[in-house]
Chains A and B, each alone.
Chain A
Amino acid sequence: MSIGEVAAARLRSLSGGRGTPPAIIWVPALFVGAVLLLPLIYLVVRTFDAGGDIWDLLFRQRIGTILLRTILLVVTVTGASILLAVPIAWLTTRTDLPLRRVWVVLSALPLVIPSYVAGFIVIAALGPRGMLQQTLDGPFGVDRLPDIHGFVGALLTLTFLSFPYVVLTVRAALLRIDPALEESSRILGRGNWTTFFSVTLPMLRPGIAAGGLLVALYTLSDFGAVSLLRYETFTWAIFIQYESALDRTLGAGMSLSLVILALAIVGLELFSRGRARYYSSTTSISRPPSTIRLGRWKCPALAFCAIVVAMSLVAPMSVLVYWVVRGISAGEPFNLVWTAVGNSVYVAALAATAAVIAALPVAALSVRYPGVFSGFLERLSYIGFALPGIAIALSLVFFGARYAPPLYQTTGLLLLAYVVLYLSPALGAVRTSLLQISPRIEEAARGLGNSPLRAFSSVTLPVARPGLMAGWALVFLLVMKELPATLILSPIGFNTLATSIWSNASEAFFARAALPALLLIAASAVPLAFLMLRERR
C-alpha cells in the first residue's frame, strides 16, 4: 500500500465514511491545514516556555471582566449588523428598488475603512466637543454631547464597519436560492412578507450565520476602534501586552485564551447551521427570480438604504475630505503615493485569489465529505481570523526567519499571512455557495464520464461563481486595510495605503493620513464595482 493509499484510507475513516475525497481535494486541504496550524504552534511554544507565573497573570479578575465586556460587544455588534444587512441584501436582490447595484457597492465599501481611522473619525465627529456639538452649539446652545467613548461608541463604529460582511454573504445566498421555492409559496397564497419570513429567511440561515460569524470574529479581533473609543476588550489587552515588547509570553497566553473564545463562537455557528439541506433538486442558475414590486414601500426602502450608506460611508468620507481641505489651506505638503496604491491593489488581488483557491478544497471537503477532518480544518481557519494580526505576524516571523529564510520578507510570506488571516471569510462564501449545489449534478457529470476534477471545474465552479466572487471581494477589501501583518512581514521598503495612513495618523498628521484613506476607499471601489456590475441577474 502506498503512503497515499494509507492516507486516503485514514481520511475515509475520519470523514464519516461518506466515501473517499479525491486526492485533488484532500492533498491541498491538508497543506492548508498545516499552514493554519503554524500560529497555534507558535503561541503554544511562547506560552509554555514561560515560567509558572503566567497562569496567575491569566486568571485574574481583571481578565474575567474584560472577557465579559468582550462578549457583550461581540453579541450586540453581530445582532445590529444582521438587522442592518439582511434588509439591504434582500432589497438589492429581490425587489425593484432603484439603483440596486449602486447600493450594493456603497454598502460594501465601509468594510475598507480601517478601524483606527473610523475610531478617529467617530471621536472627531461625535465626541463630547466634536463637530456635531460645534454645529449644534450655535443654534441650540448644546454645550457638550454625552460621551461617545465606551460601549455605545464601540458598538456604533464596529457595526457600521462590519455589517457589509452580512450583506455580501446573504446576497450570495439569495442569488443562489432556487426562486421556485419562493414562487411556490406565493402561488400557494402567501404574501411577500409571509414568504420572506417563512421561506426565504430560513433558507438564508447559512448565509446569515456565515456573515454573522465574520462580524463576531472581526469584533473579537479589532484593536483600532476599541482602543480609541476606550472600550477594553480581550484583543485590546493582548495588544497592550505586545506594546510593552518585553513580554511576548503574556500576549501569547492571552491569544491562546482568545482562541478558545473564538472556538466557542464558531461552535455556535455550526450549531445554528443545523442539519438542513439547502440545495434544491435542480440547478436553475439561468432563471432569475421574479422581482417583487415595492410599490408604496419604495420610499421607506430607499430611505433605509440611504441612511445606512450616509452613516457608514458618506459621513466618514466627509470628515476625511474636511481634514484634507483643512490641511491644504494650512499649507500642508502632500506627496501622492501612487506606488502605495499600486502595491495595495497588487497584494490585495493576489491575496484574495490565493485565499479563494485555498478555500476551495477545504469547502469542498466540508460540504461533500463532512467529518472530523473537515470540521477541524474549518475551525482552524476561523482561528486565523479571530487572532490579532500581530500574533499571526510574529508567528510567521518565528517560522519564516528560522526555517525559511529565502521566503522571509518576501511577498510570498506576506500572502501566506493574509491567507491565514482571511481564509475564513473566503471559506464562508465559497462554502455557502457549494452548499446550494446539489451533489447529484456533479454525480451526473461524473456519470457522463468526466473526471472529478473536470466535473468540478466545468459544472460546480461556474454554478458557484457568485459565492467565489463574494469571497474574493471580501478578502480583497480586508487585505486593502490590513495593517499589523503588512507592517511586520512585508518586503523591506514595501509601502501600502494602509501603512501610509498609519504612518501619518500615528504622528497626528490627520490631513496627510486622510488622503491615502480616501484613495484606499476609491481604489477598493473600482474592483468591487466591476464585480458587482458583471454579476448575473
Chain B
Amino acid sequence: MSTSTNKGIRFWGIIALFLTSVFLSACGGSDGDAGSLTVYSGRSETLVGPLIDRFKEDTGIDVSVKYAGTPQLAATLLEEGDNTSADVFFAQDPGGLGAVAGMLSPLEEDVLTKVPQWAVSSDGVWVGVSGRARTVVYNTDTLAPDDLPDDLEGFTDPKWKGRLGWAPTNASFQTMVTAMRSIWGDQRTVQWLENIQANDPKVYPKNTPIISAAASGEIDVGLVNHYYLHRFLAEQGDSFSARNYHPPAGGPGAIVMVSGVGILEESNNKDNAQQFIDYLLSDISQKYFVEETYEYPLASGIPVAEGVSPLSEINNPDLSSSALSDLEGTQALLREAGIIP
C-alpha cells in the first residue's frame, strides 16, 4: 500500500511540476523598452540571420525575429489583424507582401527612390531589397546553351516531351505566369500552359528538387529561380552538372522579382522599423545579399557574385510591381487549366 501511495504522490508531483513550468515559461520574456523591433521574416534564418545579427550589433536595437515561410507568415498576419506584434514584414516574394498590403503603412519617398521603379509596390507600402531572376536550369552533360530556345515559347516544341521540370504551385512560378499574362495576354498564356502540359512536364513542389533533378539527369531542363544553383555549386563543387540559362529573347522567362519589406500600420516602433529598412538598403546589406545569397543588389552599384550573370546580361522586361500583382487571377487560370488543385 505504501509503495502505491508513493506512486500516487509522484504522479501528482509531476503534474504540479508541469503546471509550474508552463506558468513560468508563460511569464518569461517581456521587454517593452524603446529600443526593440519585431520582424516577421519569410526569408529563412540561414539566409538573413547573420545580417540581422549585424544590424543588432550596429544599432543596439533589440531585434526579435519570427522565421517561417512567407505565405504562412502572411496568413498569420491576416489572422492576427490589429493585434499583431510585428513591426516589419520581410517577405521572400511580392505575393506575400501584396496579400497583407492593407495592413502596411506607406513608406517615405526617399526610401522608395533608392531602388529602381519596378522594385517597389505601386501604392508605396513595400520596397524591394534584393532581386532574384527567373531562369532555366539545364543539365550540362546532355545540353549546351546553344541547344536551348531563345524564350519560353520554345519549350512547347515536342522535342522537349518528358524532359522539362516545373513547380506550378510555387510562388515564384506563379509570379512568372502573372508576368506572362501582362506581356502575352491571357489567351496566349493559357495556350502556352496547355502546350507545356501536352509535353508531360515533371511536377516538383519547389525549386530545389528541380535543380537536383536537372543535375542528376532525371530531367534535362527546369524552370527555376537563379540563386539556388549557386548554393548547390558551393556545397558540391563545380562538377555539379547543372547551370543556369537566361533566355536571350527575354520575356516572362527572364523577369527579375524582388524580396521586399514593409512596415505594419499597427507598429509602435516605426522609427526602428525605418532604420531596419534603411539598413537593408545600405551597402553592407546589399553586399551581403550579393555574397551570401547570390541575389541581385537593388540599391547600389555593387557587382554580382562570381558566376552569377549580371543584370545587364539578363533581358529583364522591367515590369512594374502592379503588372505582377494579380496573383489571384493567375491562380484561377492555373486551376482552370488543371495545373493546380
Contacts and interface: CB of A to CB of B under 8 A. Distances in A.
Interface of A: 57, 62-63, 66, 120, 123-124, 127-130, 149, 227-228, 230, 232, 236-237, 240-248, 326-327, 330, 332, 350, 353-354, 357, 390, 393-394, 397-398, 401-402, 405-412, 415, 454, 457-459, 461-462, 484, 487-488, 491-493, 495, 499-500, 502-504, 506-512
B280 interface: no
Contacts of A407: 26
A interface, over-half SS? helix
Given A127-B218, A458-B4, A503-B45, A237 B341 contact: yes
A332 B83 contact: no
A353 B13 CA distance: 12
A415 B26 CA distance: 10
A418 B47 CA distance: 28
Contact of A248 (B22, B44, B75): B75
A340 B299 CA distance: 35
B300 interface: no
Given A397-B76, A401-B80, A508 B211 contact: yes
Given A130-B216, A357-B15, A410 B96 contact: no
Nearest to B237: A330
A410 B73 CA distance: 17
A24 to B, nearest CB: 12
5 contacts: A243-B69, A354-B18, A415-B22, A457-B11, A492-B66
Contact of B235 (A120, A330, A406): A330
Contact of A487 (B46, B68, B74, B204): B68
Nearest to B14: A353
Contacts of A232: 341
B259 to A, nearest CB: 13
Nearest to A399: B79
A326 B235 contact: yes
Contacts of A488: 68, 72-73, 76
Contacts of A236: 341
A461 B15 CA distance: 13
A396 to B, nearest CB: 9
A500 B67 CA distance: 10
A391 to B, nearest CB: 10
Interface string B146-171: 00000000000000000000000101
A247 B328 contact: yes
Contacts of A411: 22, 25-26
B327 interface: yes
B75 A401 contact: no
A148 to B, nearest CB: 10
Given A242-B72, A401-B79, A412-B22, 5 more contacts: A128-B216, A130-B216, A350-B21, A354-B22, A458-B1
A232 B335 CA distance: 14
A462 B10 CA distance: 11
Nearest to B2: A458
B4 to A, nearest CB: 4
Contact of A508 (B4, B232, B237): B232
A507 B72 contact: no
Contacts, number: 183
B232 A394 contact: no
B78 interface: yes
Contacts of B232: 508
Given A248-B75, A415-B22, A507-B44, A332 B217 contact: no
Interface in B1-52: 1, 4-5, 7-8, 11-12, 14-15, 18, 21-22, 25-26, 29, 38, 44-47
B236 interface: yes
Nearest to B47: A507
Interface string B59-87: 00000111111111111101111011100
B260 interface: no
B18 A353 contact: yes
Contact of A129 (B26, B66, B208, B218): B218
A402 B79 CA distance: 9
Nearest to A416: B22
B231 A507 contact: yes
A502 B47 CA distance: 12
B18 A350 contact: yes
Contact of B85 (A62, A409, A457): A409
A105 to B, nearest CB: 23
A487 B171 CA distance: 19
Contacts of A247: 328, 331
A332 B80 contact: no
B83 A487 contact: no
B301 interface: no
Contacts of B341: 62-63, 66, 232, 236-237, 240-241
B211 A127 contact: no
B340 A240 contact: yes
Interface-central residue, A332, A390, A484, A492, by most chain B CB under 10 Å:
A492
Contact of A461 (B7, B81, B213, B327): B7
A510 B96 contact: no
Interface string B261-288: 0000000000000000000000000000
Nearest to B71: A245
A394 B75 contact: yes
A127 B216 contact: yes
A296 B94 CA distance: 66
Contact of A512 (B38, B46, B174, B328): B46
Interface in B173-222: 174, 202-206, 208-209, 211-213, 216-218
B308 interface: no
A509 B171 contact: no
B75 A504 contact: no
Contacts of A332: 234-235
B115 interface: no
Given A487-B72, A507-B44, A458 B228 contact: no
A458 B26 CA distance: 32
A274 to B, nearest CB: 31
Contacts of A406: 26
Nearest to B99: A245
B235 A503 contact: no
Contacts of B213: 127
